[in-house]
Amino acid sequence: MTHHHAPSKESASLSQLDCLASDATRRLVREATRTDHQRLDRAMSTLELGDPVGYGMFLKIHYTALTSLARRWRAEDQPAFSALLSCVIDDLQALGHPVRYPAASIKRVDSLRPWGIAYVIRGSRLGGQVLGRRVPGAFPKSYLDCVPTLPWPDFLKQLDEAGGSNPDQIEQIIRGAKIAFAAFIAAAGKCGVL
């Protein structure tokens, strides 16, 4: 027979409080992908963005990841993410690296994974703002300058509603975020950055 002592009771109620916090989903997804982010952050920070070659690799990594995830975008993210993709393609073209726009095909996914994918793609813009300062003004910057119409805090609010304090739903979102980080990590590897 198991006895529930005061300490375990206390931790149970604490974790319950955790679930009730309005940003529980975001915090859990961030925690579950912290090491993925660190790995990417470190690798991408080694790119010499003041140099057309390094900057081209940076853009190519984003292009490759965005393209490989394109089939799993949420319909709601389609306009914003297509715009991002067009911008990165334009910038690569301007740098002399022509790439193709992927064939449009959205795979309807019956899970919340696309929310996790949206979280990572939208979150990658935050680091982009930091990195953008290191890119010379003369370089094509439409991708880094592209601002999604839905502000980040508003997206996070929707993400937390989608998670709904439901462990299964939050798990699906984490799975999607892991898939998206893996796409960025694979893209970085392909470009020789990892």
Residues that bind ligand HEM (CB under 6 A): 26, 30, 37, 40-41, 44-45, 119-120, 123-124, 126-127, 130-131, 184
Eight-state DSSP code of residue 75: G
Structure-token pair, residue 178: 């892991």
Q: Of 40 and 144, which CB lies nearer to ligand HEM in the complex structure?
A: 40
In the complex, what is the shortest distance from the CB of residue 62 to ligand HEM, in angstroms, rounded to a whole number?
A: 6
Q: Of 7 and 67, which CB lies nearer to ligand HEM in the complex structure?
A: 67
Kindly report the number of other CB atoms within 10 A of residue 24's CB atom: 17
In the complex, what is the shortest distance from the CB of residue 152 to ligand HEM, in angstroms, rounded to a whole number?
A: 8
In the complex, what is the shortest distance from the CB of residue 27 to ligand HEM, in angstroms, rounded to a whole number?
A: 8
Q: Of 124 and 140, which CB lies nearer to ligand HEM in the complex structure?
A: 124
- What gap in Å lies between CA 57 and CA 21, rounded to an integer? 39
Q: Of 40 and 174, which CB lies nearer to ligand HEM in the complex structure?
A: 40
Tokens 């699906």 label which residue? 172
Query: CA 60, 64, 65, 71 torsion: positive or negative?
Result: positive
Q: Of 10 and 18, which CB lies nearer to ligand HEM in the complex structure?
A: 18
- On whether the CB atoms of residues 71 and 106 are closer than 8 A, the answer is yes
In the complex, what is the shortest distance from the CB of residue 9 to ligand HEM, in angstroms, rounded to a whole number?
A: 31
Structure-token pair, residue 141: 């910057």
Question: Residue 53: CA atoms inside 13 Å, Cβ hemisphere, count?
Answer: 3
Tokens 């952050």 label which residue? 41
In the complex, what is the shortest distance from the CB of residue 162 to ligand HEM, in angstroms, rounded to a whole number?
A: 14
Buried/exposed 117-139: b ≥16 CB within 10 Å, e otherwise: bbbbbbbbbeebeebeeebeeeb
Q: Of 88 and 140, which CB lies nearer to ligand HEM in the complex structure?
A: 88
Kindly report the number of other CB atoms within 10 A of residue 112's CB atom: 24
In the complex, what is the shortest distance from the CB of residue 127 to ligand HEM, in angstroms, rounded to a whole number?
A: 2
